[in-house]
Structure 1
Amino acid sequence: MRRFAELLDRLVLTPSRNAKLKLLSDYFRSTPDPDRGIALAAITGDLDIPGVKPAMLRALVMERMDAVLFAYSYDYVGDLAETVSLVWPAAPDVERRNSELSLSDAVEALLNAGRVQGPAVFAGLLDRLEASSRFALIKLVTGGMRIGVSARMAKQALADVGQVDVSEIEELWHGLDAPYEELFAWLEGRVEKPVAAAYALFRPVMLSNAVAEGDLEKLEPADYAAEWKWDGIRVQTVAEGGVVRLYSRTGDDISGAFPDLMEAIEFDAAIDGELLVGVAGQHTGTFSDLQQRLNRKTVSAKMREKFPVFVRCYDLLQVGGEDLRPLPFRERRQRLEAFAAGLPSERFDLSPFVAFEGWQELEEKRCNPPHPIIEGVMLKRWDSAYVPGRPKGPWFKWKRDPHTVDAVLMYAQRGHGKRSSFYSDYTFGVWTGPEEKPELVPVGKAYFGFTDEELRQIDKFVRDNTVERFGPVRSVRADTTHGLVLEIAFEGLNRSQRHKSGVAMRFPRISRLRWDKPAAEADRLETLQAMLD
């Protein structure tokens, strides 16, 4: 258990991606089975211990300390797992007992306990551990690691262990189960590569590079096809041997949130496309609409009726047992057009090409797309094979320039992990109401786009200008004579009934700190409403 705790501590404090990869690969090489496989499942989000939930954890700690004292501690620390791990009373012989507990022993005990005995067993385990190991166990069983490691990064670390391409691991992943002993045996050269025996497995996606200044001058327009870049989520729809799955671009199985789409799949193929809300060929909803369907364990009939989904098809990767990925895009597209003609028309449609003769013509169309849900264009070489990863040259994304507004900082909330000591999540607003007596209305929230030094500057401003406190949230002085103006970049706007302002920003981030600009000169809500219109 202590080794896993040390891994989490070092990952949280390590900003470099390459350094994180080395920490992970070293851990996988040096840790025996099944502990390393359980750690891998926890990091990739594939470990589920139903008997332990955050609410239960709160109840347990309240039995051991004063509720007000815990609330103050939680407010200061900013992370539930870290707070509990620090305030939990340790047993006298905790060092000896901690050294005797393995990761697999802890997980096995919790899985065997179930929901009824889970709280007592979990409390007993916390009694046996010192603070850092308690933190690791809590993160392990409640999820939400917040250690700056994605499932993709963990798989890349595995690839580094075995000196294989990460796409080989991704194609096997959904046919494997924790603690992945067969996978580790293959990576260490002790057995042959596992056979992908499961049906409807994920195919690693091909990604594009953003168009940079000077790129188009080196490219011949006739070599590329152009498609609209739609503002949904990239998905892979796979059906094989009666098994149907919908994967996100990172290989997460999201089928459970979209049963209406799954019911309409009666083919044997793998399709690369964009998941959108609406009815194919009739109506395409906003990303805000799509968010109503994301990350749901159950979907009501009312929700399915109000926010139906469909897939806009980009590419055909496999049909039956035939792998089409080595074929040039032109040929795959022809196969896709013929295949899509036989799909349910309300659930699948074909991504249309954008006709153009030269880059100037395409730029004009990029800046003035025919639909508000389009965020740019995609360029694909006619002769390109479908290659996992982000190869340079075959595919480009040419997004519309982001919108910007000047907004005023209104609220700040403590961050998590290495940011738990800083106010790093910011709510900002714009002016509304009469010119002689304006008021701020929140229009968005952002927690990135600034440097570490700028974070320290904003944090100091928040602490020096706090007017009210609400748990881990501070209200910051913001009026026409005083306030911090933030230049906010965002991809688009949607109408929203949930927000007082009536608008919701798409991908907001802080692009500049406007220390030079008076708060009174920040933008007004009418500016955003005009963008909607």
Structure 2
Amino acid sequence: MRDFSRLLDGLVYTRSRNAKLKLIADYLRATPDPDRGWAMAALTGTLDLPHVKAAAIKAIVEERVDPVLFAMSRDFVGDLAETVSLLWPKPPGMVEEIDSGALRISAVVERLMTLGRGEAPRALADMLDQLDASSRYALLKLATGALRVGVSSRLAKTGLASAFGLDVDQVEEVWHGLKPPFAPLFAWGEGTGAQPTSADVPVFRPFMLAHPLEDARVDLADFAAEWKWDGIRVQIVCIGAETRLYSRAGDDITASFPEVAAAFHEPGVLDGELLVKGAHQGGEALAEGEGAASFNALQQRLGRKTVSPKALADYPAFVRLYDILFDGAEDLRERGWTERRARLEALVGKLDPDRFDLSAVIEARDFEALEEIRAGARDAAIEGVMLKRRDSPYVAGRRTGLWYKWKRDPLTADCVIMYAQRGHGRRSSYYSDYTFGCWTEEGELLPVGKAYSGITDEELKMLDRFVRNATVQRFGPVREVEKSLVLEIAFDSIHESKRHKSGVAMRFPRIARIRTDKPAAEADTIAGLKRLIV
């Protein structure tokens, strides 16, 4: 556990991407199986210890520490694992056993996996007794899966690839066909085993992504334009008699959308946008957009492990197809977009029209005409425009010059800060998560959203000082503040919401600027926000 704790400490305090990659690579080369495999599972979010949750950790801490002291400490520190690792009181006479075989990552994981809900927290407490503060932190991060050490799943896999001279795209190709602790992957990397294969397994392939267009222009003779739909990007994989749906992060979401998986029987791999059927409320120029509801409708289905008949009926899902990666066993990713598009168009006619349709190409004579079309298309299911080079292969990740995303201009509203909470990771010492509201006609301020992004480090410090000096009440880790500071909030769209007292919910809210020049009484109204719903 000591080496893993050193790795986490290094990743937390290192901002350089290359330095993080070196830390991961050095650790993986020096650490034996299966410890390094379980470490990779933790770094990539594929480790699940179902009987060790935050509530269970809180319960074992409060048996040894005054609950009020723990609550105050957690409020100050901002991170559960860090708070517990610093506060945990060792029994008198207990000797640290940091390098004990029983405290190796593999031994810890295997023990916690075999214990039930009542036994696992007690075993975790016994382990914490034997560790120093840094190793306790590593153990708790491992157990909860909430690492937050500035490492994405892709970065961790890139570190593994660089450790053994592998191609990261080839690692991604087989990743979802393997299970922790990934022994075949490390054997391949060290040259002691064959390269794992994804044959006959419906595995996830990394998505091709786009760069923001920003202020550039492209020639429509070289680029095709499509709408960027506001659902969730999915990959549909059918091999043999099995079909799976994967999210952009590579999560298997088949169980959440069984009707889509059940309707796809053509061997191959497709890329598209998962949407929910609903009334089309705008964008008169978009005949192909009929039938797509807003993201708010899709949210009613997301995250459900089982779907009720009512949800299936009320929020029927379908996929608007963008691309084809495999046609049967034939890999088309090296072919140009134009050829892949023709193959996709030929395939769509064989699919169930209730579950699959084609994202149409936008016809525009030139870029100026495309600008006009985009400007008139603020539809509930449209985020903007995608521009795809006609000869582009389908490559993993973002490659300059191939695909661009041209998102629609955001909406904005002036809102008043109501509550604040500490952030996570390097922001855990600052009040960086802000709940903001708008006024009702009766003069009541109701929450309409929450944001933490869009501000500089200096603005963060300014807002943190405001929160500390303007606190009027505390509710655990949350501070209520004077209703005096206005934030200009940018957001992609706004929808009706029965879950919020205000009746509205913002999509992708972020802080555009701090309006110290504007009195809180002049902030926007909820009625005004509702007029933006399309």
What is the correspondence of 1:103-502 to structure 2 with a 5 Å cutoff?
A: 103-213=105-215, 215-216=216-217, 219-278=218-277, 283-369=291-377, 371-433=379-441, 438-478=443-483, 483-502=484-503
Offset at 1:370? 7.1
SS at 2:398 equivalent: coil
Q: What secondary structure is seen at the aligned counterpart in 2 of 1:105?
A: helix
Deviations 1:20-55 (A, max 9, x none): 222222221222221111111011111122332222
The secondary structure found in structure 2 opposite 1:135 is helix
Is this contact kept in 2: 1:25–1:161, CA < 8 A?
yes
Q: Please report how far the alpha carbon of residue 18 of structure 1 lies from its aligned counterpart in structure 2 after TM superposition.
A: 3.0
Q: Is the 8 A contact 1:95 1:130 kept in 2?
A: no
Mark the CA change 1:77 to 1:333 in structure 2 (over 3 Å): closer, same or farther: same
Hey, what's the Cα distance between the residues in 2 that align with 1:441 and 1:427?
10
CA gap 1:237/1:412 in 2 versus in 1, 3 angstroms:
same
Structure 1 residue 412 displacement after superposition: 0.4
Q: Distance in 2 between matches of 1:378 and 1:262?
A: 26
How far 1:282 sits from its partner (Å)? 5.6
One-letter code of the match for 2:497?
Answer: S
TM-score (normalised: structure 2)? 0.93
Q: Give the number of equivalent residue pairs.
A: 523
Structure 1 residues 323 and 345: CA distance shift in structure 2, 3 A? same
Counterpart of 1:484, as a letter, is L
Tell me the SS of whatever aligns to 2:170: helix
Where do 1:14-93 residues align within 5 Å?
A: 14-92=14-92
- Per the alignment, in what secondary structure is the counterpart of residue 36 of structure 1? helix
Cα–Cα, structure 1 residues 521 and 350, in superposed 2: closer, same or farther, change >3 Å?
Answer: same
Q: Which amino acid aligns with 2:147?
A: M
Question: How far is the alpha carbon of 1:188 from its aligned partner?
Answer: 3.0
CA distance 1:202–1:224, shift in 2 (3 Å): same
Under a length normalisation based on structure 1, what TM-score does the superposition of the two structures give?
0.93
The 1:18–1:439 alpha-carbon spacing in structure 2 relative to 1, beyond 3 Å, is farther
Q: Is the 8 A contact 2:25 2:163 kept in 1?
A: yes
1:470-512 per-residue CA deviation (whole Å, 9 max, x = no partner) reads 111111101xxxx221111111111112122222111111121
Change (3 A) 1:421 1:95: farther
Distance in 2 of aligned mates of 1:484 and 1:338: 56
**Alignment check: 8 A CA contact 1:90 1:130 kept:** no
Give the Cα separation in 2 of the matches to 1:293 and 1:153: 29
Question: Contact 1:161–1:188 at 8 Å: present in 2 too?
Answer: no
Query: Closer, same or farther in 2 for the Cα pair 1:289/1:94, shift >3 Å?
Result: farther
Unmatched segments (≥5 aa) in structure 2: 279-287
User: Is the contact made by 1:427 and 1:442 (CA closer than 8 Å) also made in structure 2?
Assistant: yes
Distance 1:532 1:288 in 2: 11
Could you tell me how far 1:158 is from its partner in structure 2? 1.3
Q: Are positions 1:506 and 2:515 aligned together?
A: no
Structure 1: distance between partners of 2:57 and 2:390: 55
Query: SS at 1:526's partner residue?
Result: helix
CA contact (8 A) 1:170 1:251 kept: no
Structure 2 CA distance for partners of 1:495 and 1:39, relative to 1, 3 Å: same
CA distance in 1, matches of 2:520, 2:262: 53
**Match of 2:351, SS?**
coil
CA distance in 2, matches of 1:333, 1:252: 26
Please state whether the residue corresponding to 2:532 is helix, strand or coil: helix
Q: 2: CA distance between counterparts of 1:433 and 1:370?
A: 27
Structure 1 residues 520-529 or 509-518, which shifts more?
520-529
Once structures 1 and 2 are overlaid, which stretch shifts more, 220-229 or 343-352?
220-229
Q: List per-residue Cα deviations over 1:237-272 (Å, max 9, x = no partner).
A: 101022221112232222232222222222211000
Q: Structure 1: which amino acid aligns with 2:291?
A: H
Q: Quick one: percent identity of the two aligned structures?
A: 56
Letter in 2 for 1:136: A
CA shift digits 1:356-391 (9 cap, x unpaired): 001111001111127331111111222222122212
> By how many angstroms is 1:315 displaced?
0.7
Rounded to whole Å, the distance in 2 between the matches of 1:74 and 1:297 is 31
The 8 Å contact of residues 94 and 130 in structure 1, kept in 2 or not, is answered as no
SS at match of 1:55: helix
3-state SS in 1 of match to 2:513: strand
Work out the CA distance in 2 between the residues paired with 1:222 and 1:417.
46
- Unpaired runs of 5+ residues, structure 1, are none
Instruction: Find the aligned partners of 1:476 and 1:223 in 2 and give their Cα distance.
Output: 53
Distance 2:200 2:38 in 1: 21
More displaced 10-residue stretch of structure 1: 141-150 or 166-175: 141-150
Q: Shift of residue 423 of structure 1?
A: 0.8
How far 1:170 sits from its partner (Å)?
0.6
Higher mean displacement: 358-367 or 133-142? 133-142
Which residue pairs with 1:530 in the alignment? Answer: 531
Residues 507 and 370 (structure 1 numbering): CA distance in 2 closer, same or farther, change over 3 Å?
A: closer
AA aligned to 1:128 is: Q
Name the stretch that deviates more: 242-251 or 460-469: 242-251
Quote the offset at 1:113 in angstroms: 2.5
